[in-house]
Structure 1
Amino acid sequence: MDWQPHITVATVIEDQGRFLLVEEMAEGRAVFNQPAGHLDADESLSEAALRETLEETGWEVELTAVIGIYLYTAPSNGVTYQRVCFAGRALRQRADSPLDEGIIGPRWLTRDELASQPERWRSELVLRCIDDYLQGELFPLKLIRPRS
């Protein structure tokens, strides 16, 4: 059996108690997720996180910390994802930036607004990453070593 985990990145961006989320279509329904996506070839994890956030929300952000590294197997398809989740802060929205296909748009929600809609989560990692961020155990960006 040829098994390979999928390496993904995500960002948790907070501004005054609201979190930048992506409303997107997945399996025929509108769901919420962090700005997230797959690592591309010849790209660092940090570069991927910045790129995915811009492509999915139109927001330029600055990464400030690492929240955690998560292993998740999707019950819908059995695919295993390794997610590296970053914390960051919003810098500016680029209204001219086209969003990826399937993206409905960026949404700013409080933790409680998100928690009240579990049927709309892309996965359980959406709330878990925010809760881990809110607990405050963040790791320095230097935890992620640059490519050599």
Structure 2
Amino acid sequence: MDLDEFAQVRAAAIRFRAAMVCARGAGLFADDCLGLKTFPHGACGNACELLGEYLTSLGLGEWEIVTGQRHPQTHAWLERDEVIVDITADQFPDFPHGGECAWRATDDHSWHAHSFVEDRRERACLPERGDHFRGALREVYPQVCELIRE
């Protein structure tokens, strides 16, 4: 990933994070089955699916959701070409960058590698079909994207 694309990813992550905060405040995440009601707390996996879909829609490549564990917590973030995008890291008090994580796009893996044992990777996107939960994520995605345009 070149510096121009990195800057685009970073800007997109900033916009998406801000839209997620606005969506939470507007009550778009009232259906708590999404796990987004307390975004960013406890919302990392679902936020990754939504953000991955958004980045891909902008032509910024396909991303992987990486999940990791540290007892008893789990966490998820996006990776592509050794770049991490994590818009929910501020839910952890030991995250060393404070509020910076709202736009955290980096090639520095130190906190993630030290704090979590990676346990799986999957493509970051919203599945075309699925259960009620996946359908609810698909419904909220355009509403979040609309907030980016405002």
TM-score, normalisation: structure 2: 0.29
TM-score, normalisation: structure 1: 0.29
Instruction: Flag the structure with higher strand content.
Output: 1
